[in-house]
Every structure is written in C-alpha cells, then in structure tokens.
Structure 1
Amino acid sequence: MSHDGEYADLQEVRLQGSVLGSGLDPSLSKAQVSVVLPVRDGASTIEAAVQSVLSQQDCVFELVVVDDGSFDDTLPRLESLARNDARLIVVKQSRDGLVEALNRGLAVASAPLVARMDADDLMLPGRLSIQLAAMAKNPDWAVVGSHVHLEPPTPGMQRYVDWLNGLMSPQDLSREIYIDSPLCHPSVMFRKERVLSLGGYRDVGWAEDHDLWFRLHLAGEVMGVVPQTLHQWHDLPSRLTRTHPRYSFESMMCMKAHYLSKAFGSSMRIWGAGRDGKRMARALEGEGVEISAFVDIDPAKIGGVRRGSVPVIGPDDLNPPQPGDPIMIVMVGVIGARDDIRQTLRTLNYVEARDFICAA
C-alpha cells in the first residue's frame, strides 16, 4: 500500500542552497537515499543530528525532517539550516505522532532507499555510503542495520546494545527476532518499495519498528547488518522507548505472541514456568494458542501445573521432536541460561526456528 496519494497535500518547506556535499561528483543530482528523521520538541539536539547527516560523503542523499508540531524552536532552527542546504527538506504536521511522521517522511522521500535517523542521535561518518554498498552487494536484503554506540552507557540499555552488536549476519537477525528488536531503528536503511508493500509503519499498540521487522520476516524478506559501529544512539530519559506504553514489556509480549501465533500455529510449549513464561502463556492464549506444557528445571515446579491445568515437566521428560509436535518457546533470558537451554534442546535434535524459538 502506497502513501503517496494520502500525503499529496503535505505542507513542504523547501529552501534553496547548495545541492551536493563536498567530495561528490557535481553531475550527480538524483538522491540515492532519503534520510527520514521525525522530530518533536527537539531544539536542543536537532542541529547536531542534522549536521551529522549533512556531513556524510561519497553518496547523494536528501534529508527529510518531519516536524511533529513542535512547541519549541525546532522548526525555526530547521528552516535556518535548510536555507543553506537544499538537501534538507522540512515537512510540517500537527502533533499527529511518530508513526504518522514516519509515513509522511516515506511519502516525501524520493529515493528508492530510505535511511532512518532520530533527532537526538548522531550519524557516524561513512554510514550512508557503507550501507549503500551493502545494499548494492546484497540485492535480496530488504533492510540493513549496523552496530551502534550507546551514549550514555546505562546498564539496562547497554545489555541490549551488547546483544545487538553481537548479531553479525542475516541468520543471526532471523534467529533472534523474537528475543528483542534485532535492528536499532535509527541505524537502518531499507528498500522503500518493500516496506510500502507491507503497509509502511503501523500504530497497533506496540513498537512500530519491531512490528515492521516481524512483517518483513514473515513475508520472507531478508534483513542484514553491517557489523560496524555506524550510529551513536543516545539513551535520554525523554525517549519514547522509556515513556510511551507502546514500548512497555506487556506490549512487547503481546506483539511476540501475535507473531508467534501467525508463524507457528495454535499449540505451543513454553520452557520456563516462572514469571515471564506465565506472561507469555497469557499473551499466547489471548491469540487463541493452547499451551500444552511448561518445561522447567526447578524440582519444586516439576510435577505441578500452571494456568489451571497445564503440566510442568522437566528436561528429562522431553523426547526428540516428532512431526506435528508443538513448537517450544524458550522464555528464559538469564545471561548464559539461554545458551544452556539451546544446547540441551540441540542435544535432543531440536532445530532452532523449526522445533524451538528463543523469545526472552
């Protein structure tokens, strides 16, 4: 579904200036990539973010900034920057929200490739040209991410970034997609046509970026990664990830359950009879999935029941998988424990993504 007609009446501010950055062939004028950057009340960081994009070299790009009804002086700052660089396109909207801003940005973007950027982050030198080269080398990739540097390195987010930066290949991203978002949204570049064919961004009650990765994944699209640090990600208290219910643990659990049910059917087993396992069971039941068993290593839990009548069994009770067996959803995310469970299941000839999925 294309959004071009829906957003044909955008209020677009385009101010004249130089078209190409230093080091570019002046005969090139058609953008290879459109950078889409939504912002609301980002006056304190927007100039640094924009300059980090405009400083990119060795490629031709445009920067589409969608101002989501800022009350501060974000818009005047953007208009001042745009007077000196025609690559900067400023789009204004009422306070319609992030998802609407992203889709408006896609509608304005003229290039076949779109790179994401956030208003409080920094694009590190070389990112656009490196990701362009990766997409040219891998025409089957629908999206490519990168590794990121977190600033400041807060403990909870640093654990996520360490995990993220350990993903090195499309196979890694596909295997880990149910654990957490395997791509840092503002670090990605994607093929616009493939994203629009799936309906663009959606506001469905959970994270709009991870929702898009799931839809690409289930559509059979390949997601890749450049295993280089190309983005500086700022973990500020005001980030939507920290403040909006769309990004809460419960919302993420509902999203995982939704896509697990779409991918693996209506009967599942859960490894982990603790809090997270029970939360996942509740979310899966909300999607019409029957939980046939819990697996746990705690002797105090083995032999009992959960969720009314669902038995709790131990690893020793498992047999090698047979055709038609319910898939196993591993809901143990303790450092080291996930790999131990993987090894246990592999010893029983379980194949990841066929017989079991790690989702915590």
Structure 2
Amino acid sequence: MQNPLVSILTPFKNTAPFLKACLESIINQTYEHWELLIVDDHSSDTSYEVVEAFAKKDSRIKLFKNTGNGIIEALRIAFKNSQGDMITRMDSDDIMTPEKLEVLINNLIQAGPGNIAVGQVKYFAENGVKPGYKRYENWLNQLTQNGDNFSEIYKECVIPSPNWMAYRGDLIKAGAFDHYDYPEDYDLTFRFYKAGYNCIPCNTVLHLWRDYSSRTSRTHVHYAQNYFLNIKMKYFLDIDHDPNKNLVIWGAGYKGKKIAKHLLKEKVPFDWVCDNPKKIGKTIYGKTMKSFEALKSIENAQSIITVANTKAQKQIRNYLNALELKPVEDYIFVC
C-alpha cells in the first residue's frame, strides 16, 4: 500500500488557547497525505472560529458540529465522515511531533493488519509536570518500547488515546465507536486487546501530551476512578476470568471493596484476603475477610490484586513468581 490516506479524528470543546499549536503540528507533519475530521462538541469559547479559519486555508481540515453530546458521539461523527485507509486520533490540546504520522504509518504498514501502531509520549505543562503523571509517562513508555502494552492492561490505560494508528478494517472489527463506554480510550484499548491485536514496539516520542487543571480527563465524571474499575472488571470477566479457577481478591481498601461489590452483583464467587489485622475475621458485604495465609489452602486460584503500595506489590509479585504463577492467567494487578 503506497501513500495511504490517514484519517485523524479529533473532538474539541473549549480548547481555543491550544488549538493553533495543535493544528499547526498536524499541518507540519512530514507525512502529508492526511485528512483531519475535527468535531466541535458544543464549545462556548472561540474554538469553532479558530478551527474554521484553518479549515478555510487547508481543504484537508474538515470541520463538523456534534449533533449529539460528548466525545464518543463526536468520534462517531468523525469516523463516519472519514475516508482513510488508516485511522488515528488526536486531542485538540496536544501537539504532534513532526514525524508522528510518518513513523506510525510506516510501522503499521510493515507489521500489517491485526496490529496497532503506538508511540511514546511526553507530558508538558505550563507549571511543570506533576510526579504522578511523570511516573505514568515512564511506565507507559517502557511498555511501548517493547510492545508489551497489553501485559499490564488491568493497571491503567496502556494505549494513550491520541497516540495510536490502526487499519480501518481492524477498527471496525473491534467494534470501535459502536457501543463502547467511558473512559472511551480505555474501552477502545480493551477492544483491541479482546480482538487479539498486537502493539508494535516503538522507542520514539511521537506525541506531546499537555497537562493542565481543566483538561477533560482530569475534571469530567466519566474519567473518575470508579469508571476505570468498572471497565476493568467488565472486560476481565468477559476475557480473562477462568470460571474453573477460584477467584481471590487481595486487599480491602477502596478498590478491593468496589471490585467485591461488582463481583457480588454479577454473582461471581470469590474469596477475600488482606493483611490488615483490624479487618481479618470481620465480615464485609457478607464475606468474611481471611488472612493472606489462607492463600496456601486455596487451590487453583486466580487473584485480583488491589494492593497499591509499590513495595508490597514487588513482594507479592516475587511470591507469585516463586509459585511459578503466570500474569493474567493466574493473577492481575488492578492498581
């Protein structure tokens, strides 16, 4: 496939201060055969006018208004009107490195269908990047460097929403933009995972991710922690849960309790263990909390580990490795 058309899907809402830099980074791409389907999600600032001025100068920029509401509806409109053989997404407040499209499309063509091209990311912020986001950036880039993104999919979203590219047919096969849930980027990542696609390794930073206090992913209810847990458990039960194994929840904090409630609602049996002496022996949601020592007597276990402490996670991982247990098949970390 020579010089395929790349469709860039971009919802936007009230990002006027950042749109010029974003659009210029797209226009200045070394790969020029692209179209931008950019959809206004009911902006109340001058965002629409900013994009409209660019669209009048460059016919590759196609501007729409969201007839529904929210990012998912905007993405559906963009995808419906796209013509590209390859599809990617861009956030209206971020910046592409000049070679982003070229690297992604070359990697994707070389690997062929059934693969997702991804790139490394770098956060930037006017007042400096906070440590938590820097840790997420480093973790994500380490996975992307080896194409191991799906190995830790139950921890956090392992494919950044504005930094992937896929064949149109693969997106359709995965059910992208049909009936998925918020957080939409995490849901799409799970759809790629469920479809059996591979992430193509990449050691190059291709996307500059802007962080600021009013960014949608930091302020909207759709990106709250409970939404992430719901997505994780929905897909775990659908894809990786083995009903022939004895399910075990490790930890009785916020996440452990949320997961327990989800499993009880779905009528999925489980044991519940923790290392907090104040909770061991007590009953929570009708389940008696057991000590970690009880794990020795639970045969053929599949564990959901909610322990957040990094040191404790390493100890748990060493313990599981000593038992020759396998990630996902025998245990998952959800934090």
Fold match (TM-score > 0.5): yes
Deviations 1:40-67 (A, max 9, x none): 1222111110111110014421122112
Query: Partners in 2 of 1:133 and 1:336 — Cα distance?
Result: 40
Query: Partners in 2 of 1:43 and 1:112 — Cα distance?
Result: 30
Aligned to 2:10: 37
Deviations 1:92-121 (A, max 9, x none): 234621101111111122111112111111
Q: Which has the higher helix share?
A: 2
For the aligned residue pairs, the C-alpha RMSD in angstroms reads 2.4
Say whether residues 1:127 and 2:100 are aligned partners: yes
Aligned to 2:312: 337
Deviations 1:110-133 (A, max 9, x none): 111112111111111211111111
User: One-letter code of the match for 2:316?
Assistant: I
Query: Partners in 1 of 2:315 and 2:145 — Cα distance?
Result: 22
Q: 1:234 aligns with which of 210, 220, 229?
A: 210
Aligned to 1:46: 19
User: One-letter code of the match for 1:290?
Assistant: P
> Offset of 1:145 from its aligned partner?
2.0
Deviations 1:286-339 (A, max 9, x none): 333222x223344554555543233413257426x86xx341111113223323
- Map 1:103-118 → 2, pairs under 5 A: 103-118=76-91
Q: Tell me if structure 1 keeps the 8 A contact 2:39–2:74.
A: yes
> Offset of 1:227 from its aligned partner?
2.7
Which range is displaced more, 186-195 or 295-304? Answer: 295-304
Q: Percent identity?
A: 28
User: One-letter code of the match for 1:109?
Assistant: S
> Offset of 1:170 from its aligned partner?
6.5
> Offset of 1:249 from its aligned partner?
0.8
Q: Return 5+ residue gaps in structure 1 as ranges.
A: 1-27
Aligned to 2:274: 296
Query: Partners in 2 of 1:124 and 1:162 — Cα distance?
Result: 18
Which range is displaced more, 132-141 or 209-218? Answer: 132-141
Aligned to 2:42: 69
Which range is displaced more, 264-273 or 308-317? Answer: 308-317
SS state at 1:165 partner: helix
Aligned to 1:273: 252
SS state at 2:43 partner: coil
Say whether residues 1:287 and 2:270 are aligned partners: no
- Map 1:161-310 → 2, pairs under 5 A: 161-168=137-144, 172-201=148-177, 206-263=182-239, 264-265=241-242, 268-291=247-270, 293-302=271-280, 304-310=282-288
User: One-letter code of the match for 1:334?
Assistant: N
> Offset of 1:33 from its aligned partner?
1.0
Q: Using a 3 Å threshold, how does the CA distance of structure 1 residues 157 and 169 change in structure 2: closer, same or farther?
A: closer
Query: Partners in 2 of 1:309 and 1:43 — Cα distance?
Result: 51
Query: Partners in 2 of 1:358 and 1:91 — Cα distance?
Result: 41
Say whether residues 1:142 and 2:115 are aligned partners: yes
Q: Using a 3 Å threshold, how does the CA distance of structure 1 residues 65 and 205 change in structure 2: closer, same or farther?
A: closer
Q: Return 5+ residue gaps in structure 2 as ranges.
A: none
Aligned to 1:4: none
Query: Partners in 2 of 1:155 and 1:202 — Cα distance?
Result: 35
Q: Using a 3 Å threshold, how does the CA distance of structure 1 residues 155 and 200 change in structure 2: closer, same or farther?
A: same
Query: Partners in 1 of 2:144 and 2:4 — Cα distance?
Result: 29
Deviations 1:209-236 (A, max 9, x none): 1111112212222233423211111112
Q: Using a 3 Å threshold, how does the CA distance of structure 1 residues 302 and 348 change in structure 2: closer, same or farther?
A: farther
SS state at 1:254 partner: helix
> Offset of 1:204 from its aligned partner?
5.6
SS state at 1:35 partner: strand
Which range is displaced more, 299-308 or 40-49? Answer: 299-308
Q: Using a 3 Å threshold, how does the CA distance of structure 1 residues 233 and 103 change in structure 2: closer, same or farther?
A: same
Q: Using a 3 Å threshold, how does the CA distance of structure 1 residues 79 and 59 change in structure 2: closer, same or farther?
A: closer
Aligned to 1:328: 303
Query: Partners in 2 of 1:309 and 1:333 — Cα distance?
Result: 22
Q: Tell me if structure 2 keeps the 8 A contact 1:64–1:90.
A: yes
Deviations 1:239-284 (A, max 9, x none): 2212221111111111111111112155521122333222221222
- TM-score, normalising length: structure 1: 0.83
Aligned to 1:14: none
Q: Tell me if structure 1 keeps the 8 A contact 2:249–2:305.
A: yes
Q: Using a 3 Å threshold, how does the CA distance of structure 1 residues 62 and 215 change in structure 2: closer, same or farther?
A: same
